[in-house]
Structure 1
């Protein structure tokens, strides 16, 4: 869980506690009024638990301040926008997650991304996507609709043909040799990247193993129109729209881009990966 998220949740809890104390209600009395365990009131006020929209609306009404419900809901939505746990997101399956990204993709005119371990989702073949999503299901048991998610991911690729949009992908060379799928699937995936090296609105750069790196290779992320960053961990996905957070990722992306190779040099990196695959078959 990110420090920023913890601080924001604690601030929301402090605001809820302030409203309760101003109303003259004790934590026990408020819990009784709402029909909640007292521990829930305590956890919400101390930022150890995230409330739902219904929770904050009920809270505002219980403390006699229905006028602040919109404020509390706004604070909560900020939390949910920034920090989206996979457990919560995947409760409805993988396809809704893909659809959320598709909705953002339809709004994005300029996308820059960096991927250190996988081929970017927008560039994945069906078999590669299926293999990746199936492997994620091993640690996220809620994933049960892999086939629907593959279809949704492939539907998102249509955005690449829109010449009014620009896409600039950076991929660490390690992603080209990462065995997250059978070797024949990986070989097909690598071959599908070659035509992209010459496309006008889609740029693909490879950060090679031998590159002099201005910054260490870290987590993957995407920048949307210079106003939103989407990044993730094993536990959660974060949608960051704070200007300082966006600026940080822009600096990281610019530094990585300086180490990337394009065109024939990128083609050679892909060819090296393909050659390694043939040797190990």
Structure 2
């Protein structure tokens, strides 16, 4: 369980205690609010993140004080979109965070991933991943002593590609033209991406340069069923609000409308490989 999930469960437990102290059952509260009982259950069990209006209506219905309302809304503002500072997560190195991704991805039934500045982790080679971990450790000033262990876990994460799950991955050509790894490592990475075109069950695409995008794409993201994770330079956002998750679903659908797949994607990757090969030979 991630720290975000634990905090959401704790928040749900607080909502449950407010209801219990008011002497109401879950069904009575649902009836008073005009909600389905399943919503009460999901909020109390930490399966869904509440909106401000949900908390206010909940607490108003049980007669909670205004100070309690304000306190719960303040807690919710920190929870709804959980900002987990990378520096705090990576204080002991990258391996634990990679293990967390391993568990989340293997538990998911559907994975949708789009990256615009880096090769997606599920398709990275060991050399490329090693370069990513080193640059991040330097920027965030966190330990780099577990890089090799982190690389091993990242490689283990890729087992999920061969487990029959519904997986979609899009990478921007921009990420391949502005590499974090040296040319020889990029050659190996591009070869890996070429092979990804033919992985059974994997939908893989490349966003070609100079092609008009359907929407502004500020950050890469990965969708694990009904949860979205968005990486920023110094923080990671975890989003599970249904309306916001739906936005990412629409964005992914629109990106597929302009992405190259199959032979088109392979041709782009092979042209890029030729450029990096020229660099290594020059």
Residue by residue over 1:23-48, the C-alpha shift from the partner in whole angstroms, topping out at 9 and shown as x without a partner, is: xxxxxxxxxxxxxxxxxxxxxxxxxx
CA distance in 2, matches of 1:260, 1:204: 9
Provide the residue aligned with 1:49 in structure 2.
none
Distance 1:133 1:80, change over 3 A: farther
Provide the residue aligned with 2:155 in structure 1.
154
Q: Which runs of 5+ in 1 are unaligned?
A: 1-11, 16-67
CA distance in 2, matches of 1:187, 1:113: 22
Matched, 1:274 2:273: yes
CA distance in 1, matches of 2:80, 2:148: 27
Q: State the Cα distance separating 1:80 from its structure 2 match.
A: 8.4
Q: Which runs of 5+ in 2 are unaligned?
A: 1-10, 15-67
Q: State the Cα distance separating 1:78 from its structure 2 match.
A: 6.8
**Deviation above 6 Å: which 4+ runs of structure 1?**
none
CA distance in 1, matches of 2:177, 2:191: 13
SS in 2 for 1:209: coil
CA distance in 1, matches of 2:278, 2:257: 31
CA distance in 1, matches of 2:176, 2:236: 23
RMSD across aligned positions (CA): 2.3
SS in 1 for 2:140: coil
TM-score, normalisation: structure 2:
0.70
Report if the CA contact (8 A) 2:83-2:237 is conserved: yes
Q: State the Cα distance separating 1:199 from its structure 2 match.
A: 2.1
Aligned residues: 210
Matched, 1:216 2:178: no
Residue by residue over 1:138-178, the C-alpha shift from the partner in whole angstroms, topping out at 9 and shown as x without a partner, is: 11111322111111111111111101x12110111111222
SS in 2 for 1:114: strand
Q: State the Cα distance separating 1:77 from its structure 2 match.
A: 11
Q: State the Cα distance separating 1:126 from its structure 2 match.
A: 0.7
Residue by residue over 1:171-200, the C-alpha shift from the partner in whole angstroms, topping out at 9 and shown as x without a partner, is: 111112222111111101100111221222
Provide the residue aligned with 1:195 in structure 2.
195
CA distance in 2, matches of 1:153, 1:96: 11
SS in 2 for 1:143: coil
CA distance in 1, matches of 2:167, 2:82: 23
